[in-house]
Amino acid sequence: MKFPLALSAFLLLSTQSAMADDHAKSPLTVKPVGEQLHVIYGQGGNIAVSHGKDGLYIIDDQFARLSKDIKKALGDIKTNKAEFVVSTHHHGDHTGGNENFAKEGSHIIAHHNVHQRLEKEHGKNSKFLPVISFGDDMTLHFNNEQANMKHYPHAHTDGDAVIFFTKANVIHTGDIYFNLGGLPFVDVDSGGSVDGIINAVTDILIHADDNTKIIPGHGKVTDKKGLTQYLALMKKAKGIMVKAMAGDKSQADVVAMKPLDVLNLTYSNWLPQERTTKLFYRSLKSKHHH
Ligand SMILES: [Zn+2]
């Protein structure tokens, strides 16, 4: 997501009742999700933790202020030293801890475009940047696991990587998949697109079976059925928008029609229906459907 402040405020609100029960409690929830794999829920994108004979590495690292808690949680699993941090994309609620982890020896890995965007944001010599970047795909042979990182062009952003833990049969989708019951953030300004998300999810589903566990960028771990429902929702929303946009209508006209009303979805404060409609419009309006 692009607005970490608004997002964290939203998440803080939603966790406040839980926190009132126990003030000293960590802001993180750690759950096993597969063989030598854990998921960490917190205040940003979901973290996957691979641990085993070679050590430990993580997918995404939320916000900088959570690094200490994340390291403590990793220590409870195996060791607080993460060999690698894979960034699924450049957004701050997924890469906020990169500098803290890199300073302690973790090697940041991400797609070339993530390197480019983080360099633009943090400067050339920043520790936020990946020290290893890749194009179409890359594989980590670590912990007796084969983790395939695959780039999906113009989906949530232009630098999305999905991680397939082939042995554990677990997939981390990054923000290509928001499992929050609604529509995702299509970051058109960072090269994201509605069609790119639909294409990516369609391909991910080909690699999933009935036992696959799917870690979304946000929301609870789910399965092939959950992701299939999300794909259907995305296709439905696209169809509604394309129909509403027919006749070369302006963005203002389409927004005023409230075409997404029929889906009866709930929206968060940082991504209300109007903004979602605008992003879908801009994506579907552009020549290459980006
Ligand atoms: Zn994001």
Contact 159, 133 (CB under 8 A): no
Question: Tokens 């912990």 identify what position?
Answer: 143
Q: What is the pLDDT of residues 220-250, one digit of tens each?
A: 999 999 999 999 999 999 999 999 999 999 9
Question: Tokens 């997501």 identify what position?
Answer: 1
Residue 52, token pair as written in the block = 């085993």
Question: How many angstroms is it from 172 CA to the middle of ligand 1?
Answer: 13
Question: How many angstroms is it from 19 CA to the middle of ligand 1?
Answer: 25
- Report how far residue 158's alpha carbon sits from residue 135's, in angstroms, rounded to the nearest whole number: 11
DSSP E strand boundaries for 70-193: 84-86, 107-111, 132-134, 137-142, 145-152, 160-165, 170-172, 178-179
Give residue 288's pLDDT.
54
227 contacts: CB under 8 Å, gap ≥ 6: 173, 177, 201, 204, 205, 208, 214
Question: How many angstroms is it from 1 CA to the middle of ligand 1?
Answer: 3
Position 20 confidence tier, pLDDT thresholds 50, 70, 90: very low
- Report how far residue 42's alpha carbon sits from residue 7's, in angstroms, rounded to the nearest whole number: 12
Residues 44-62 have a mean pLDDT of 98
Question: How many angstroms is it from 141 CA to the middle of ligand 1?
Answer: 26
Question: How many angstroms is it from 185 CA to the middle of ligand 1?
Answer: 7
Question: How many angstroms is it from 244 CA to the middle of ligand 1?
Answer: 27
Go through the domains of the chain in sequence order and give each one's CATH number.
Answer: 4-240 (3.60.15.10)
Question: How many angstroms is it from 53 CA to the middle of ligand 1?
Answer: 31
Give residue 286's pLDDT.
85
Is residue 4's pLDDT more than 70? no
- Report how far residue 127's alpha carbon sits from residue 111's, in angstroms, rounded to the nearest whole number: 16
Give residue 9's pLDDT.
47
Give residue 26's pLDDT.
87
Question: How many angstroms is it from 91 CA to the middle of ligand 1?
Answer: 5
The pTM of this model reads 0.91
Question: Tokens 């833990």 identify what position?
Answer: 165
Position 46 confidence tier, pLDDT thresholds 50, 70, 90: very high
Question: How many angstroms is it from 215 CA to the middle of ligand 1?
Answer: 14
Question: How many angstroms is it from 175 CA to the middle of ligand 1?
Answer: 5
Neighbours of 15 (CB within 10 A): 15
